[in-house]
Amino acid sequence: MFDLKLYFTEKNKQINAALDEILKEDSSWIAEAMKYSLMAGGKRIRPVLCMAAAEAVRGNPKDVLPAACAIEMIHTYSLIHDDLPAMDDDELRRGKPTCHVAYDEATAILAGDALLTLAFQTLSSVRAEGHSRQWLHIAGIIAHAAGYRGMIEGQMRDIASEGTLPDLNALEDMHALKTGALIQASVKSGAILGGGSRTQIEHLEVYAKNIGLAFQVADDILNVEGNQEIMGKAVGTDSTRKKSTYPSVMGIEKSKAFAGNLINNALQSLDVFGTESDPLRAVAMYIIERKR
Amino acid sequence: MFDLKLYFTEKNKQINAALDEILKEDSSWIAEAMKYSLMAGGKRIRPVLCMAAAEAVRGNPKDVLPAACAIEMIHTYSLIHDDLPAMDDDELRRGKPTCHVAYDEATAILAGDALLTLAFQTLSSVRAEGHSRQWLHIAGIIAHAAGYRGMIEGQMRDIASEGTLPDLNALEDMHALKTGALIQASVKSGAILGGGSRTQIEHLEVYAKNIGLAFQVADDILNVEGNQEIMGKAVGTDSTRKKSTYPSVMGIEKSKAFAGNLINNALQSLDVFGTESDPLRAVAMYIIERKR
């Protein structure tokens, strides 16, 4: 039986050490704000997926660490900006005050900007002789996923959808953009940098698409059924804000069944791989079993 | 006599066409907000500098267009975020309502994020066979200049300095970060992509450093003596906000002499080049002669 907890512990150690290394010599106010949010105890699912995808195609997961770090920086920047008063106006994140509460609004905006910029600086600073083309390629994939046709458009639609009538297709599109795109980019980047074949990359894209959506459905379910203390953030907020969510559209039981189906699809797409994709299998299971 | 107006007209046509091409098929709300600010009639000094630097080292300026566009996107994103209520709270920019006034605050934050992301997507999408290493290299230079050790740190210091006692060294450091870093990156990127030698790049860096600072001193002077109608934005705002500026620290006449000296230094650094650096010479002169 594959030990996912141990796997996450080991990978998180490497990811956190790499993130730490990048920012360790900076003690400016803005660098402190960046570190505050970056080191606030995130689960590191995206960077772990990136490394696990490299492993699935028999690449060395350590070689993709700059991509894993860049993706986590982009994820963190998006949380900082989403939490701003002009957006979701959240005061708590991972059990700690959000960046604009701990610092101030201007600093939070700039810390987000700085993490986004640092992500691309990290991707551009890789000195892998003869592999520049690949790194440039995955920088483009990540930028597209994070951009106005991906994550940012998802956030726009999420804001616009508050208080509107729920519609399943619109909800799915919104999540595919807001959460799915960066998760897909994480897996695809790892697979490309790990030297995966075209077929392997295609299978991993199907995997990523399914777990990406399942992740969001599970998040919606947790917002209804989750434990505030375990999660470190408020629950029931979607309902208060009259947000369209899977539970609000299809009910809680059907939402759980839907998430389960997505995970089955994800697992099936891994059939072409051997034990080297066990970490990806375990992550898929974890997504619907997690408590936070 | 070199005709800078004609040169700017020609280059701006190319830059605007390239920017237009990148966003033309998008009609989403966020894409509209991005275009609104990107096409608001900026002077395009940074992208023109990038192209002119390529020309100075006898490269083809058209080859560097993706870098020129990326730099203008980053400049525009920084203006959108600087104008936000939590930062400078400006309602007018280039004679038009600022992005958060024309749209709303959430859209303005995301439009800025999206332009920053699109800049790196643009740099990553260049398909120049055998030149990936160079593009990755200049993406890193631009990211460093725009990041928390460059432009963003400059904005942090600018915000922190409001209402404090003026200090010349601190002022110069702030401007070197806030405005100088991206101007230097513009020139350096153009020179590298244009195939410049190490010595040529060093000379162009001295040029860029001097015009970068001169540009800011001239901006401060314009905020005192400029014509609001010609400039398309409010004047006298620095004084109202008790901002440290060159005129407030050394007086208006000494500020003009200082800017003149910087431009002389910039021109001297171009002595090693022939007529192919005439555009850069003309830009240097323009910086202290401009009315907006």
B212's CB contacts (< 8 A; 6+ apart) are B175, B176, B179, B180, B181, B183, B184
Residue in B30, B107, B153 nearest the CB of A30: B153
Instruction: Report the C-alpha gap between A225 and A227 in whole angstroms.
Output: 7
Q: How far is A171 from chain B (nearest CA, A)?
A: 17
Yes or no, beta carbons of B147 and A84 under 8 Å apart: no
Residue in B31, B147, B156 nearest the CB of A121: B147
Yes or no, beta carbons of A136 and B132 under 8 Å apart: yes
Q: Which residues pair with B92 in a beta bridge?
A: B97
The residue among A183, A143, A135, A176 whose CA lies nearest residue A157 is A176
pLDDT tier, B194 (very low <50, low <70, confident <90, very high otherwise): very high
Query: Which one-letter amino acid corresponds to residue B17?
Result: A
Among chain B residues, the shortest Cα distance to A138 is held by: B124
Q: What is the pLDDT of residue B79?
A: 97
Judged by average pLDDT, the poorest of A66-75, A178-187, A242-251 is A242-251
Averaged confidence pLDDT in chain B = 93
Judged by average pLDDT, the poorest of A73-87, A129-143, A158-172, A263-277 is A158-172
Angstrom CA distances, B77 to A110, A177, A244, B91, stand at 11, 22, 31, 16
Yes or no, beta carbons of B109 and A118 under 8 Å apart: no
Query: Which one-letter amino acid corresponds to residue A280?
Result: L
pTM, full prediction: 0.95
Instruction: Report the C-alpha gap between A236 and A227 in whole angstroms.
Output: 10
Judged by average pLDDT, the poorest of B22-26, B56-60, B109-113 is B22-26
Q: What is the pLDDT of residue B237?
A: 76
CB pairs under 8 A between A and B: 138
Judged by average pLDDT, the poorest of A76-85, B128-137, B208-217 is B128-137
Judged by average pLDDT, the poorest of A124-133, A265-274, B237-246 is B237-246
Yes or no, beta carbons of A159 and B106 under 8 Å apart: yes
Q: How far is A220 from chain B (nearest CA, A)?
A: 23
Q: What is the pLDDT of residue A166?
A: 64
Yes or no, beta carbons of B148 and A28 under 8 Å apart: yes
Q: Domain A4-289, what fold?
A: Farnesyl Diphosphate Synthase (1.10.600)
Residue in B114, B116, B136 nearest the CB of A136: B136
> A83 to chain B: which residues are within 8 Å by CB?
none
Do residues A78 and A111 lie in contact, with contact meaning Cβ atoms separated by under 8 Å?
Answer: no
For residues A138-160, average pLDDT: 96
Q: Bigger pLDDT: A202 or B94? A: A202
Q: Which residues pair with A92 in a beta bridge?
A: A97
Angstrom CA distances, B30 to A80, A155, B89, B114, stand at 19, 10, 21, 8
A28's CB contacts (< 8 A; 6+ apart) are B148, B153, B156
Q: What is the pLDDT of residue B166?
A: 64
Q: Bigger pLDDT: B168 or B205? A: B205
pLDDT tier, B228 (very low <50, low <70, confident <90, very high otherwise): confident
Q: How far is A89 from chain B (nearest CA, A)?
A: 11
What are the two backbone dihedrals, phi and then psi, of residue B163, each rounded to the nearest 5 degrees?
A: 80, 0
Angstrom CA distances, A115 to A45, A119, A184, A222, B192, stand at 18, 6, 20, 28, 26
Q: What is the pLDDT of residue B239?
A: 74
Do residues B259 and B273 lie in contact, with contact meaning Cβ atoms separated by under 8 Å?
Answer: no
Judged by average pLDDT, the poorest of B28-37, B85-94, B226-235 is B226-235
The residue among B204, B198, B180, B194 whose CA lies nearest residue B269 is B204
Q: How far is B258 from chain A (nearest CA, A)?
A: 30
pLDDT tier, A231 (very low <50, low <70, confident <90, very high otherwise): confident
Do residues A62 and A26 lie in contact, with contact meaning Cβ atoms separated by under 8 Å?
Answer: no
pLDDT at A228 over 90: no
pLDDT at B232 over 90: no
Best residue in A29, A113, A135, A153 for a mutation probing chain B (most B CBs within 10 Å): A113
Q: Which residues pair with B134 in a beta bridge?
A: none
Angle at which helices B181-193 and B198-225 cross, to 10°: 150
For residues A131-159, average pLDDT: 96
Both tokens of residue A20? Answer: 């730490």
Q: What is the pLDDT of residue A128?
A: 74
Please give the full DSSP string across A134-188, using - where no structure is assigned. HHHHHHHHHHHHHSTTTHHHHHHHHHHHTTSPP-HHHHHHHHIIIIIHHHHHHHH
Instruction: Report the C-alpha gap between B226 and A91 in whole angstroms.
Output: 43
- Domains of chain A, by residue range, sit at 4-289
Instruction: Report the C-alpha gap between B14 and B54 in whole angstroms.
Output: 15
Burial of B25 per CB tally in 10 Å (0-12, 13-18, 19+): exposed
pLDDT tier, B72 (very low <50, low <70, confident <90, very high otherwise): very high
Q: Bigger pLDDT: A291 or B9? A: B9
Best residue in A98, A148, A156, A178 for a mutation probing chain B (most B CBs within 10 Å): A148
Q: What is the pLDDT of residue A259?
A: 95
Best residue in B19, B120, B137, B138 for a mutation probing chain A (most A CBs within 10 Å): B120
Among chain A residues, the shortest Cα distance to B85 is held by: A106
Yes or no, beta carbons of B140 and A132 under 8 Å apart: no
Yes or no, beta carbons of A152 and B26 under 8 Å apart: no
Instruction: Report the C-alpha gap between B209 and B211 in whole angstroms.
Output: 6
pLDDT tier, B229 (very low <50, low <70, confident <90, very high otherwise): confident
The 3-state DSSP class for residue A246 equals helix
Q: How far is A270 from chain B (nearest CA, A)?
A: 30
- Long-range contacts: A260-267, Cβ < 8 Å, 24+? A260/A288, A262/A210, A262/A211, A262/A213, A262/A214, A262/A217, A263/A210, A263/A211, A263/A214, A263/A287, A263/A288, A265/A206, A265/A210, A266/A206, A266/A207, A266/A210, A266/A211, A266/A214
Q: Bigger pLDDT: A51 or B236? A: A51
Averaged confidence pLDDT in chain A = 93
Q: How far is B124 from chain A (nearest CA, A)?
A: 5
Angstrom CA distances, A83 to A97, A212, B237, stand at 10, 21, 31
Residue in B116, B125, B152 nearest the CB of A30: B152
With left for phi above 0 and alpha for psi between -120 and 50, is residue A196 left, alpha or beta?
A: beta
Query: Which one-letter amino acid corresponds to residue B15?
Result: I
pLDDT at A282 over 70: yes
Yes or no, beta carbons of A124 and B137 under 8 Å apart: yes
